[in-house]
Amino acid sequence: MNDTFLYDSLPYLVLVLAVGVPAWLRNRARLSAWVMGWVEREGTGSAAVSLVVGGLVMLLWHAACFLLPNAVGLFIRSPLRLFFLEVVGLIGGMMLAWGLVASITRRFSSREPGARVWLPFQVLLLAEVLNGLSIAVGYRWASAWYVSVVVPYLRSLVTLQPDATLVAQLPLTVRMHLFGVLALLLAWPLTRWLASARSAPTLVSSREETAGQGGIVTP
């Protein structure tokens, strides 16, 4: 086995499995209920499938580059494999963009409580995806410089030793992509809180409930 993978990449893979598997086992029922609710809202058409598949492709693509940069670097040393990875990322981004457009359009006409609260977040996510697609088209071999420039910067943030020397020299479009991620991380919990507040049932006191059923309410 390659020493680079054994010592640099395998620990991250083990950490993800050690944290992710127990979390999934503890929250299977909640995750299943969330998936069923999502299917009821988004449906099972081609746009919904595109949203899920595209989202998973982009998530796995970015996670692999961040967690396993050395393994990804070895993989893309071959021009053919680098081209394959670029094509997969481009297709995943386009699928995600299409699914987001369909979901945004559906939410505009939805009467579900809290549905439109997610519109600003989805629009922001769509802008981030379109920005990523423009980077993939305008700057060749994004996978290569993403692993060699952006990932070291992200890792320096995790280790509390930020080093933006190389990132500061990137084109404005790429830097905007990074700031877009920060905006999404900030908007996610706020949007969830607003959605839960909008969809919360109206609280009715026991006195009002008794009165509504024709009962006698004493002062």
C-beta separation of 84 from 37 below 8 A? no
| Region 77-92 average pLDDT | 89
* Pairwise CA distance, residues 35 & 47, whole Å: 16
How high is the pLDDT of residue 35? 56
* Pairwise CA distance, residues 177 & 55, whole Å: 16
Instruction: Looking at the chain, list the stretches that DSSP marks H as alpha helix, in order from N- to C-terminal side.
Output: 3-4, 10-26, 28-42, 46-67, 69-75, 79-108, 119-138, 142-145, 151-158, 172-199, 206-212
Q: Is the pLDDT of residue 70 over 50?
A: yes
Select the more confidently predicted residue: 216 or 11.
Answer: 11
Q: Taking the chain, what is the end-to-end CA distance rounded to the nearest angstrom?
A: 79
pLDDT tens digit sequence for 180-198 = 998 999 998 888 887 777 6
* Pairwise CA distance, residues 9 & 72, whole Å: 10
How high is the pLDDT of residue 128? 94
| Region 153-173 average pLDDT | 84
Select the more confidently predicted residue: 201 or 41.
Answer: 41
Q: What is the mean pLDDT of the chain?
A: 78
How high is the pLDDT of residue 93? 92
How high is the pLDDT of residue 102? 86
Q: 108 pLDDT band (50/70/90 cuts)?
A: confident
What SS3 class is residue 170?
A: coil
